[in-house]
Chains A and B, each alone.
Chain A
Protein backbone atom coordinates (compact mmCIF):
# COMPACT_ATOMS: atom_id res chain seq x y z
CA UNK A 1 0.00 0.00 0.00
CA UNK A 2 1.24 3.47 -0.90
CA UNK A 3 -1.01 5.12 1.73
CA UNK A 4 -1.83 8.76 0.98
CA UNK A 5 -0.03 10.22 -2.04
CA UNK A 6 0.17 13.96 -2.61
CA UNK A 7 1.48 15.70 -5.70
CA UNK A 8 3.32 17.90 -6.29
CA UNK A 9 5.69 18.09 -3.31
CA UNK A 10 6.69 21.67 -4.07
CA UNK A 11 5.01 24.39 -6.12
CA UNK A 12 5.58 28.08 -6.76
CA UNK A 13 2.66 30.08 -8.13
CA UNK A 14 2.20 33.65 -9.15
CA UNK A 15 -0.61 35.64 -7.60
CA UNK A 16 -3.83 35.02 -9.50
CA UNK A 17 -2.84 31.67 -10.94
CA UNK A 18 -4.94 28.60 -10.29
CA UNK A 19 -3.84 25.04 -9.65
CA UNK A 20 -4.94 21.70 -8.29
CA UNK A 21 -3.22 19.82 -5.50
CA UNK A 22 -3.69 16.11 -5.99
CA UNK A 23 -4.41 13.59 -3.25
CA UNK A 24 -4.99 9.88 -3.66
CA UNK A 25 -5.30 7.05 -1.13
CA UNK A 26 -5.35 3.31 -1.72
CA UNK A 27 -6.69 2.21 1.67
CA UNK A 28 -10.40 2.43 0.77
CA UNK A 29 -10.89 5.10 3.44
CA UNK A 30 -14.20 6.93 3.40
CA UNK A 31 -13.06 10.04 5.24
CA UNK A 32 -10.62 12.47 3.65
CA UNK A 33 -9.54 15.96 4.67
CA UNK A 34 -7.33 18.81 3.60
CA UNK A 35 -5.37 20.78 6.19
CA UNK A 36 -3.00 23.69 5.88
CA UNK A 37 -0.13 24.21 8.29
CA UNK A 38 1.33 27.60 9.03
CA UNK A 39 4.04 28.38 11.62
CA UNK A 40 2.58 28.74 15.10
CA UNK A 41 -0.96 27.97 13.95
CA UNK A 42 -1.05 24.21 13.94
CA UNK A 43 -3.19 22.42 11.39
CA UNK A 44 -6.33 24.11 10.13
CA UNK A 45 -9.07 22.23 8.31
CA UNK A 46 -9.89 23.50 4.81
CA UNK A 47 -12.40 20.96 3.45
CA UNK A 48 -13.31 17.42 4.23
CA UNK A 49 -15.33 14.53 2.82
CA UNK A 50 -17.07 11.53 4.35
CA UNK A 51 -17.48 9.67 1.09
CA UNK A 52 -17.68 9.96 -2.68
CA UNK A 53 -19.96 12.81 -3.67
CA UNK A 54 -20.02 14.33 -0.17
CA UNK A 55 -17.91 17.32 0.85
CA UNK A 56 -18.16 20.04 3.47
CA UNK A 57 -16.29 23.14 4.55
CA UNK A 58 -13.80 23.29 7.33
CA UNK A 59 -12.38 26.19 9.29
CA UNK A 60 -10.67 28.04 6.42
CA UNK A 61 -12.45 27.16 3.13
CA UNK A 62 -12.30 30.52 1.33
CA UNK A 63 -10.30 30.43 -1.88
CA UNK A 64 -10.39 26.64 -2.17
CA UNK A 65 -12.69 24.14 -3.87
CA UNK A 66 -12.86 20.37 -3.56
CA UNK A 67 -14.71 17.51 -5.17
CA UNK A 68 -14.89 13.79 -4.39
CA UNK A 69 -15.90 11.84 -7.45
CA UNK A 70 -14.24 8.62 -6.29
CA UNK A 71 -13.32 7.10 -2.93
CA UNK A 72 -9.62 7.27 -3.83
CA UNK A 73 -9.18 10.88 -4.96
CA UNK A 74 -9.75 14.20 -3.23
CA UNK A 75 -8.18 17.09 -5.19
CA UNK A 76 -7.92 20.60 -3.76
CA UNK A 77 -8.27 23.49 -6.19
CA UNK A 78 -6.91 26.96 -5.62
CA UNK A 79 -9.08 29.27 -7.65
CA UNK A 80 -6.92 32.42 -7.74
CA UNK A 81 -3.76 32.08 -5.67
CA UNK A 82 -2.91 34.75 -3.11
CA UNK A 83 0.26 35.21 -1.02
CA UNK A 84 -1.83 34.38 2.08
CA UNK A 85 -2.18 30.85 0.69
CA UNK A 86 1.53 30.24 1.03
CA UNK A 87 1.58 27.23 3.32
CA UNK A 88 2.18 23.51 3.65
CA UNK A 89 -0.88 21.53 2.62
CA UNK A 90 -1.61 18.07 3.99
CA UNK A 91 -4.16 15.60 2.75
CA UNK A 92 -5.30 12.92 5.19
CA UNK A 93 -7.63 9.95 5.19
CA UNK A 94 -9.15 7.61 7.74
CA UNK A 95 -11.53 4.69 7.93
CA UNK A 96 -14.13 6.43 10.02
CA UNK A 97 -14.89 8.80 12.86
CA UNK A 98 -13.22 6.75 15.59
CA UNK A 99 -9.93 6.25 13.80
CA UNK A 100 -6.76 8.21 13.38
CA UNK A 101 -5.81 9.99 10.19
CA UNK A 102 -3.09 8.82 7.83
CA UNK A 103 -1.40 11.88 6.38
CA UNK A 104 0.30 12.40 3.05
CA UNK A 105 3.80 13.84 2.91
CA UNK A 106 2.49 17.31 2.08
CA UNK A 107 2.75 19.97 -0.63
CA UNK A 108 4.81 23.05 0.10
CA UNK A 109 3.19 25.92 -1.80
CA UNK A 110 4.65 29.38 -2.25
CA UNK A 111 2.61 32.16 -3.85
CA UNK A 112 4.62 35.15 -5.04
Chain B
Protein backbone atom coordinates (compact mmCIF):
# COMPACT_ATOMS: atom_id res chain seq x y z
CA UNK B 1 0.00 0.00 0.00
CA UNK B 2 0.91 3.63 -0.26
CA UNK B 3 3.43 4.83 2.28
CA UNK B 4 4.47 8.29 3.31
CA UNK B 5 7.72 8.29 5.26
CA UNK B 6 9.44 11.14 7.00
CA UNK B 7 13.02 11.55 8.08
CA UNK B 8 14.44 12.12 10.52
CA UNK B 9 12.11 10.76 13.21
CA UNK B 10 13.67 13.05 15.83
CA UNK B 11 15.85 16.16 15.65
CA UNK B 12 17.45 18.13 18.45
CA UNK B 13 18.88 21.52 17.53
CA UNK B 14 20.30 24.50 19.34
CA UNK B 15 18.22 27.64 19.08
CA UNK B 16 19.31 29.54 16.00
CA UNK B 17 20.28 26.46 14.01
CA UNK B 18 18.42 25.45 10.87
CA UNK B 19 16.19 22.38 10.63
CA UNK B 20 14.91 20.31 7.71
CA UNK B 21 12.47 17.43 7.56
CA UNK B 22 11.94 15.31 4.47
CA UNK B 23 8.81 13.56 3.30
CA UNK B 24 8.89 10.73 0.77
CA UNK B 25 5.95 8.98 -0.85
CA UNK B 26 5.97 5.61 -2.57
CA UNK B 27 3.57 7.02 -5.18
CA UNK B 28 3.10 10.31 -7.00
CA UNK B 29 0.99 12.79 -5.05
CA UNK B 30 -1.46 15.26 -6.51
CA UNK B 31 -0.74 17.57 -3.59
CA UNK B 32 0.94 17.54 -0.21
CA UNK B 33 0.02 19.22 3.04
CA UNK B 34 2.07 20.05 6.12
CA UNK B 35 0.88 20.17 9.72
CA UNK B 36 2.45 21.11 13.04
CA UNK B 37 1.52 19.54 16.36
CA UNK B 38 2.75 21.13 19.57
CA UNK B 39 3.40 18.79 22.53
CA UNK B 40 0.07 17.77 24.03
CA UNK B 41 -1.83 19.56 21.28
CA UNK B 42 -3.56 18.77 18.05
CA UNK B 43 -2.26 19.02 14.47
CA UNK B 44 -2.58 22.44 12.88
CA UNK B 45 -2.62 22.90 9.12
CA UNK B 46 0.33 24.92 7.80
CA UNK B 47 0.24 24.82 4.01
CA UNK B 48 -0.61 22.88 0.86
CA UNK B 49 1.62 22.45 -2.20
CA UNK B 50 0.17 21.41 -5.53
CA UNK B 51 2.56 22.13 -8.40
CA UNK B 52 5.67 20.21 -9.33
CA UNK B 53 8.76 22.03 -7.99
CA UNK B 54 6.62 24.48 -6.02
CA UNK B 55 8.28 26.47 -3.25
CA UNK B 56 6.32 28.43 -0.65
CA UNK B 57 7.53 30.46 2.30
CA UNK B 58 5.94 31.38 5.60
CA UNK B 59 8.32 33.66 7.49
CA UNK B 60 11.19 31.35 8.53
CA UNK B 61 9.54 28.23 7.07
CA UNK B 62 10.21 27.12 3.50
CA UNK B 63 8.19 24.34 1.92
CA UNK B 64 9.17 22.56 -1.27
CA UNK B 65 7.41 20.01 -3.48
CA UNK B 66 9.66 17.79 -5.57
CA UNK B 67 9.72 17.83 -9.35
CA UNK B 68 8.40 14.27 -9.49
CA UNK B 69 5.77 15.08 -6.84
CA UNK B 70 6.90 12.15 -4.71
CA UNK B 71 8.82 14.08 -2.09
CA UNK B 72 8.64 17.28 -0.13
CA UNK B 73 10.63 19.15 2.47
CA UNK B 74 10.13 21.68 5.22
CA UNK B 75 13.06 23.89 6.17
CA UNK B 76 13.10 26.16 9.19
CA UNK B 77 15.73 28.89 9.28
CA UNK B 78 17.14 29.97 12.65
CA UNK B 79 14.93 27.83 14.87
CA UNK B 80 13.24 29.27 17.93
CA UNK B 81 11.79 27.56 20.98
CA UNK B 82 8.34 28.24 19.55
CA UNK B 83 9.16 25.84 16.70
CA UNK B 84 9.12 22.86 19.08
CA UNK B 85 6.66 20.17 18.03
CA UNK B 86 6.08 17.39 15.56
CA UNK B 87 5.81 18.18 11.86
CA UNK B 88 3.71 15.95 9.65
CA UNK B 89 3.32 15.79 5.93
CA UNK B 90 0.12 14.36 4.45
CA UNK B 91 -0.99 13.36 1.00
CA UNK B 92 -4.09 11.95 -0.67
CA UNK B 93 -4.31 8.18 -0.85
CA UNK B 94 -3.82 6.96 -4.43
CA UNK B 95 -7.17 5.74 -5.67
CA UNK B 96 -8.57 6.42 -2.24
CA UNK B 97 -10.91 9.22 -3.14
CA UNK B 98 -10.71 11.86 -0.50
CA UNK B 99 -8.67 10.00 2.07
CA UNK B 100 -5.61 11.75 3.46
CA UNK B 101 -2.66 9.72 4.73
CA UNK B 102 -0.18 11.21 7.16
CA UNK B 103 3.52 10.68 7.33
CA UNK B 104 5.17 9.35 10.46
CA UNK B 105 6.22 12.81 11.58
CA UNK B 106 9.46 14.49 12.67
CA UNK B 107 9.71 15.57 16.28
CA UNK B 108 11.73 18.77 16.71
CA UNK B 109 13.27 19.80 20.01
CA UNK B 110 14.98 23.16 20.33
CA UNK B 111 17.46 23.77 23.12
CA UNK B 112 18.56 27.16 24.38
Chain B residues, CB < 8 A from A86? none
CB–CB B42/A104 < 8 A? yes
CB distance from A27 to the nearest CB of B (A): 13
CB–CB B31/A98 < 8 A? yes
Contact-size category for A: 20 to 34
- Among residues 16 to 37 in chain B, which have CB atoms less than 8 Å away from a CB atom of chain A? 31, 33, 35
CB 8 Å contact bits of B33-58 with A (1 = contact, 0 = none): 10100000111111110100000000
- Among residues 59 to 112 in chain B, which have CB atoms less than 8 Å away from a CB atom of chain A? 88, 90, 92, 97-105
CB–CB A100/B42 < 8 A? no
Which residues of A line the B interface, CB within 8 A?
A: 31, 33, 35, 40-45, 48, 50, 56, 58-59, 90, 92, 97-106
Which residues of B line the A interface, CB within 8 A?
A: 9, 31, 33, 35, 41-48, 50, 88, 90, 92, 97-105
